[in-house]
Structure 1
């Protein structure tokens, strides 16, 4: 399997016909799930356990219900989950210490290249995958030692109770505290998101966002000066932003799409705006030296079945890479998720290769952005 540089949205080219079919797809779920279970029992059966990293909160709760429990039932393998906001620091620390306690992790697109080059991951065993999975997961999503776990978007979300008939639709509106009054929320640990949103609010075309040159960073930080007094809290954990909308501490905020979707499906009065969303790939990896790597390979093969991928999406709000999952999603969920072509077309995909690239001083572009961001926050 060759490694593709295509960072396009998995499933972005799906037809409207496919989306319409999703309206009746839920009726077919039991039969598909039964077939998936039979496949798993035949090819993926095992014993023991697998230690799986995830993000905690509603994300992990969804994975337990829609992925881990069905996996255990079908294969006999117990899933032990561990949680943290980001996996990379712990994975690097375990690798350096020579003691790897996890079997799988999610890694971000811009951290993958260096960790790949350092040999931290095992090759993905695609021989365990069935034909449906290999056809449904695009070649661009299947790397030698990683596979796209989900495509995440960070976008604008607002409390529908805070506004009347006129609701925010763009990042220009996010900055317009006169027309759309109320406290704002922005992410503290992800400056690249905020820089993109600030540039869009300042009139930069979507096609001109990347690369984030020093001139663009200066322009974005100047624009962020305008909104900074209105940021009530800089959120750090994924579950904070939706919760602060629900409690009316925010009128508008940036948030992860999956967290917002989980809250909406529980009845929260939140609305999402996909225009100008920040999109990125996140990868499943099997950690070299992990205690149960064969079981980790079985889990990754299992979750990439279309029906299970749809379950992953239902549980987390973040679509897995198998594009056939739209045939199995409930119709009310299809308009919310990132693989919906309408949402995909409004999203700007991060240039992960540029973020990971080294500058003349040896630092990555992302390191440079972080330094600029921390200095700006400290002012």
Structure 2
């Protein structure tokens, strides 16, 4: 037997040990995610290795979020076996009873933040909102904190914030008011809105998509902005004159669920167990800037040491950031978003 083949067999055997028993060979499950380069990365990191190890077929679809799941479940027409959602959507969908209970006898939750482990949903990856600024405007003396971003006298310039992600911007605003990262949650909504009110007259662009935020910074239409870490990383790789760090970042989790009434629940449970395993989680940052949700991924040796410092969920970077509280936003999102939208549209 060749060395390459023996290594591959050992790797597959290791993955198979994650689940209590193999899925039935020939099973087919459908997984829905967000599409684009992120889903392409998931295919390489999670879906293909899982399909190979379990001997199943994984079909793929794309989702627009919780509304899609709600329509399938309430209409008794569930076509997905696993779907990805934002953590706040998972919290809301759980409250509505839209998901199957997860079997943590099969899914090993160790290494995952307990705030992202629930009866019927579990975290899958992280993104971060970070502060980016143009070094051709500020050199190395640009704004480093959200209080700096809010300080228009010390750091004059054009600014951009997100209008589409109220939870992220309100978290940023709370940090700008001087709160330490461990005191942001539960967010004082009215206090965060007052903070937004102080800066809104100096915001030149309210972005509604990651692509727009990236383009604003790339074209020099703004000198500083809130931006998702993946977009910030792309700008750096493309040679744009920008700087950012994970200091005071806002860490946002995505999660995965099995919709209530999924036709292939047993196979889906085993597949999900593999998706969140350290070995497969460690694959994700090899293809995309979303961070592993399982901190044990950083102990596998699969992630190059020089890459770890740039991953938002690396242990040293997590310490610098605020993790959005999905349970908090489950109950406050609608009202907070309405108040936020009304404020910035004045």
**Normalising to structure 2: TM-score of the pair?**
0.82
Q: CA 1:352 to 1:219, structure 2 compared with 1: closer, same or farther past 3 Å?
A: same
SS of structure 2 residue aligned to 1:66? helix
Residue 290 of structure 2 is matched in structure 1 by 318
Q: Distance in 1 between matches of 2:106 and 2:182?
A: 39
Q: Secondary structure at the match of 2:22?
A: helix
Q: How has the CA–CA distance of structure 1 residues 287 and 160 changed in structure 2, closer, same or farther, with 3 Å as cutoff? A: farther
Structure 2 counterpart of 1:226:
201
> Structure 1 pair 157/101, CA: closer, same or farther in 2 (3 Å)?
farther
1:60-71 equivalences in 2 (<5 Å): 60-71=39-50
Match of 1:366 among 333, 338, 343: 333
Tell me what 1:5 maps to: none
Answering whether residue 279 of structure 2 is matched by residue 279 of structure 1, we say no
Deviations 1:327-362 (A, max 9, x none): 2312122112233233222212333333333xxxxx
1:271-306 Cα shifts (integer Å, max 9, x gaps):
332222222343211111234333322221111221
Cα displacement string for residues 48-92 of structure 1 (whole angstroms, at most 9, x for unaligned residues): 4322222222211211222222223333333333334x5112112
What is residue 117 of structure 2 aligned with on the other side?
142
Q: CA deviation at 1:317?
A: 2.4
d(CA) in 2 for partners of 1:244, 1:62 = 26
What is aligned with 1:330? Answer: 304
Structure 1 gap segments, 5+ residues each: 1-28, 358-364
Residues 33 and 308 of structure 1 are in contact (CA less than 8 Å); yes or no, is this contact kept in structure 2?
no
Q: Superposition pairs for residues 187-206 of structure 1, below 5 Å?
A: 187-206=162-181
Alignment of 1:287-298 (within 5 A): 287-298=259-270
The residue aligned with 1:80 is: 59
How does 1:1-379 map onto structure 2 within 5 Å?
Answer: 33-37=11-15, 39=17, 43-44=22-23, 46-84=25-63, 86-129=64-107, 133=108, 135-137=110-112, 141-176=116-151, 180=155, 182-213=157-188, 215-228=190-203, 230-231=204-205, 234-261=206-233, 264=236, 270-327=242-299, 328-357=302-331, 365-379=332-346
- Going from structure 1 to structure 2, the CA distance change for 1:62 and 1:272 (only over 3 Å counts) comes to farther
**Hey, what does 1:13 align to over in structure 2?**
none
Contact 2:23 2:55 in 1 (8 A): no
Q: CA-to-partner distance for each residue in 1:3-23, whole Å, 9 max, x for gaps?
A: xxxxxxxxxxxxxxxxxxxxx
SS of the residue 2:143 aligns to: coil
Q: Secondary structure at the match of 1:316?
A: coil
1:262 and 1:39 map into 2 onto residues whose CA distance is: 36
The answer as to whether partners of 1:150 and 1:320 remain within 8 angstroms in 2 is: yes
Q: Supply the distance in 1 between the matched residues of 2:193 and 2:114 (Cα, whole angstroms).
A: 37
Contact 1:157 1:252 in 2 (8 A): yes
Measured in 2, the distance between the counterparts of 1:154 and 1:195 equals 12
Seen in structure 2, the aligned counterparts of structure 1 residues 134 and 179 have a Cα distance that, compared at 3 Å, is: closer
Partner SS state of residue 85, structure 2: strand
CA separation of 1:68 and 1:247: change in aligned 2, threshold 3 A: farther
TM-score normalized by the length of structure 1:
0.76
**Aligned residue for 2:3?**
none
Distance across 1 between alignment mates of 2:285 and 2:94: 26
**Aligned Cα root-mean-square deviation (Å):** 3.2
Structure 2, gaps ≥5 residues long: 1-6
Deviations 1:231-272 (A, max 9, x none): 2xx333344433543444443322223444466567666533
From the superposition, tell whether residues 311 and 370 of structure 1 become closer, same or farther in structure 2 (CA, over 3 Å).
same
Q: Would the aligned equivalents of 1:196 and 1:220 in 2 still touch at CA under 8 Å? A: no
Residue 78 of structure 2 aligns to a residue whose secondary structure is: coil
Q: Quick one: structure 1 residues 236 and 46, their matched pair in 2 at CA, closer, same or farther if it must change by over 3 Å?
A: farther
Summarize the Cα distance change of 1:114–1:152 in structure 2 as closer, same or farther, 3 Å threshold: same
Which structure has more relative contact order (CA 8 Å, sep 6+)? It is: 1
For residues 52 and 269 of structure 1, the distance between their equivalents in structure 2, rounded to whole angstroms, comes to 38
